[in-house]
């Protein structure tokens, strides 16, 4: 029996990227799974966002490209493989995070064949810039998913880390601006979990 041929350089690069993506499953976030069994990982977070995008598409800004938004939320945290997850309410953890993420984007997307590396990097950059309707929807979903997890955990991470209502409202501001139909859920959630301050 003969051995299978080696993959082409293009396929080999695609497989390297695919295998690298598996590492995102090991990046822990600060938010617990609903029920508190363990911390959510960044791959689970990205999957959850990609699932929420079509479910909540009716709240997206006009001009949103839904398939691109799904691609965006699947790629937006890939950089955490190298840069780690910085807790949104920890100012110290945020210091230098942007530079770490840009270096990670260069390395990780650089594993792909050049045309795909450029395309993936463009999607990631669009998410980061928050200038298009698609990127705004993706960013609002990113905030909203964290809110849902804390809602399901009775305030979870917010209460555990002493996060104030004002801090959450500031963090959730993109939801009010870009997906205003979801804003009442933010306010109701804060009341439901009793987050004051």
Q: What is the 3-state secondary structure (H, E, C) of the chain?
A: CCCCCCCCHHHHHHHHHHHHHHHHHHCEEEEECCCCCCEEEHHHHHHHHHHHHHHCHHHCCCCCCHHHHHHHHHHCCCCHHHHCCCCCCCHHHHCCHHHHHHHHHHHHHCCCCHHHHHHHHHHHHHHHHCCCHHHHHHHHHHHHHHHHHHHHCCCHHHHHCCCCHHHHHHHCHHHHHHCHHHHHHHHHHHHHCCCCC
* pLDDT mean over 72-77: 98
All structural domains of the chain, each given as residue ranges with its CATH number in brackets, are 9-29+37-192 (1.10.3210.10)
Q: Is the pLDDT of residue 191 over 70?
A: yes
Residue for token pair 């966002």: 49
Average pLDDT, the chain: 94
Do 140 and 123 form a contact (C-beta atoms < 8 A)? no
Measured between alpha carbons, how far is 114 from 155 in angstroms, rounded to an integer? 44
- pLDDT at residue number 4: 65
State the pLDDT confidence band at 90, using cuts at 50, 70 and 90. confident
**DSSP class of 164:** -
CA 82 to chain centre: 15
For residues 167, 168, 174, 177, the Cα torsion angle rounded to the nearest 10 degrees is -90
pTM equals: 0.93
* Helix 66-75 vs helix 42-55: crossing angle, to nearest 10: 170
* pLDDT mean over 130-157: 96
pLDDT, tens digit, 9 for 90 and up, residues 4-34: 678 899 999 999 999 999 999 999 999 999 9
pLDDT, tens digit, 9 for 90 and up, residues 48-59: 999 999 999 999
State the pLDDT confidence band at 3, using cuts at 50, 70 and 90. low
Q: Is the pLDDT of residue 144 over 90?
A: yes
Measured between alpha carbons, how far is 195 from 181 in angstroms, rounded to an integer? 21
- pLDDT at residue number 171: 96
Share of the chain above pLDDT 90, in %: 84
Do 179 and 56 form a contact (C-beta atoms < 8 A)? yes
Give the three-state DSSP class for 82: helix
pLDDT, tens digit, 9 for 90 and up, residues 150-183: 999 999 999 999 999 999 999 999 999 999 999 9
């Amino acid at each position: 029996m003969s051995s299978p041929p080696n993959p082409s350089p293009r396929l080999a690069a695609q497989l390297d990227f695919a295998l690298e993506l598996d590492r995102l499953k090991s990046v822990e976030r600060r938010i617990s799974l609903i029920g508190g069994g363990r911390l959510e990982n960044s791959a689970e977070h990205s999957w959850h966002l990609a699932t929420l995008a079509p479910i909540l598409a009716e709240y997206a800004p006009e001009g949103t490209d839904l398939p691109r938004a799904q691609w965006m939320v699947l790629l937006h945290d890939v950089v955490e493989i190298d840069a780690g997850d910085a807790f949104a309410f920890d100012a110290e953890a945020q210091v230098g995070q942007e530079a770490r993420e840009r270096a990670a984007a260069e390395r990780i997307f650089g594993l792909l064949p050049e045309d795909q590396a450029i395309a993936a990097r463009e999607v990631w950059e669009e998410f980061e810039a928050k200038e298009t309707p698609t990127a705004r929807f993706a960013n609002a979903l990113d905030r909203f998913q964290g809110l849902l997890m804390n809602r399901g955990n009775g305030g979870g991470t917010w209460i555990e880390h002493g996060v104030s209502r004002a801090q959450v409202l500031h963090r959730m501001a993109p939801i009010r601006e870009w997906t205003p139909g979801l804003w009442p859920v933010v306010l109701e959630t804060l009341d439901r979990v009793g987050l004051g301050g």
